[in-house]
Structure 1
């Protein structure tokens, strides 16, 4: 196991192995013993700062009890992590990409997120989650009740890991006004959603939500969405630009993440401040109550 430069693929592999180890109830010391290395090397592995050879990775997967498609996906991640080429963007084509995005979110110290026309997943109420998944069922994926329930559980678990993290994260969101007035599920679902955001704000001092009014000019990301994840001293920022359909694409090179962060900061400056935003959410709720 050699020391290696931290790359996006190595970070993905490390976070995946950390999740699998925790699910298996194994310690870092026990994992190190399996591959004949010190616990500190497992720490470096899970931080994306070292890599495994194929035999060592197989031994860890056996130790964690990983089988089937998930096992093959981790082996494919391991192969990508051993590549040396430097990429401008990273396209995640492997199964389970949403789980790896959630792993990145869970490991971030700061999340900066802007969405156009939809409430971001981390802020969605249960009714909104269910309705938005219902809207895509049978279109973006094969219709299945079991699959729907699995997607709902995943979204709620993702929220809990991020919003209820032992070490609170700095969370900044900008939501467009039309997302708060939107037609997801039913008027009752939208009312629940607006009140859910207000409840999150009341209970999460590290959460900032700003609303971008519909009549605002100068939005550099109109019609799209973006997320920039920061990791403190554990890695360089990672940027993500949302798409309706297709593979997830990430950016970890400084020119790209700097541009995405500038875009987010410009949108923040155009949006209402947090107090005005909360007032507008309550105002929209009152308007719809009397409609």
Structure 2
């Protein structure tokens, strides 16, 4: 049987099923037997290269003990993954979309992340994260200290899953220099943020943090951000940064190729890894 093309929906479904199986402490062989499939076939599904029928999906969810909203979300992903009609972007309107963002980033072989005016989320320090989330309390969600704390914990778990677990991945993180001069939480938080990135660069040799200087002329990516995810043996998936609302994912060549060219251009404009590291070190010496 020919393998299905790994679209965003199929990758999200596969990674979600893999996470739910792991949480349920079931092996691929045990889960595959429930739906009368081989472990190899289930592996294809979990890697976004195979599909499941509605009844098979229901049996798996019963086996994993998945109920409530999460069950409905997985079933909706199943429906989306079986659609064959062409589409440009996929808007993730399902509940708890950030879980799927982290699943995808944690399984990617390479992440290319660019931001303008803010430190990219993957390399934010704990204090920077806490300040950003506190600023959003009462704006992006109803005022709730409990939700704010949950979002902080989730972001820090995001960092752990992507940076500290699984196989080492190639990470290219680029941001504009003005991101370092927008005061988030005051001087102590920003100084801690700079030190945090220096420490990350020391601990993760595959992490390439680079800065586009403020004096750069003709940066075509001002005012926006993007993330590109490359998976082993699969196509690239991209999404753009948004202030509010659901993420839109892209996996068609007519969208991915311009995003790749844009990232390549900001790579050309950015300082080298060593020069970016030196710029950060100089900021610490200057008392930031």
Into which bin does the TM-score normalised by the smaller protein fall?
Answer: over 0.9
Residue 8 of structure 1: how far off its partner (Å): 1.7
Write the distance in 2 (CA, Å) between the matches of 1:277 and 1:270: 12
Write the distance in 2 (CA, Å) between the matches of 1:51 and 1:58: 13
Residue 262 of structure 1: how far off its partner (Å): 0.9
Change (3 A) 1:205 1:3: closer
Q: Deviations over 1:240-264 (max 9, x none)?
A: 1111111101110122111111101
- Residue 148 of structure 2 is aligned to residue 174 of structure 1: no
TM-score, with structure 1 as normaliser:
0.96
Q: Give the superposed CA RMSD.
A: 1.4
Question: Structure 2: any 5+ residue segments left out of the alignment?
Answer: none
Cross-structure match for 1:118: 118
Matched residue count: 288
Residue 3 of structure 1: how far off its partner (Å): 5.3
Cross-structure match for 1:272: 271
> Contact 1:2–1:51 (CA<8 Å) still a contact in 2?
no
SS in 2 for 1:220: coil
Q: Deviations over 1:201-237 (max 9, x none)?
A: 011010101111112111111000011111121x100
Write the distance in 2 (CA, Å) between the matches of 1:86 and 1:102: 26
Matches within 5 A, 1:105-184: 105-184=105-184
Q: Deviations over 1:50-84 (max 9, x none)?
A: 11111111111111111111111111111111111
SS in 2 for 1:288: coil
TM-score, with structure 2 as normaliser:
0.97
Residue 2 of structure 1: how far off its partner (Å): 9.0
SS in 1 for 2:245: coil
Question: Structure 1: any 5+ residue segments left out of the alignment?
Answer: none
Write the distance in 2 (CA, Å) between the matches of 1:23 and 1:47: 17
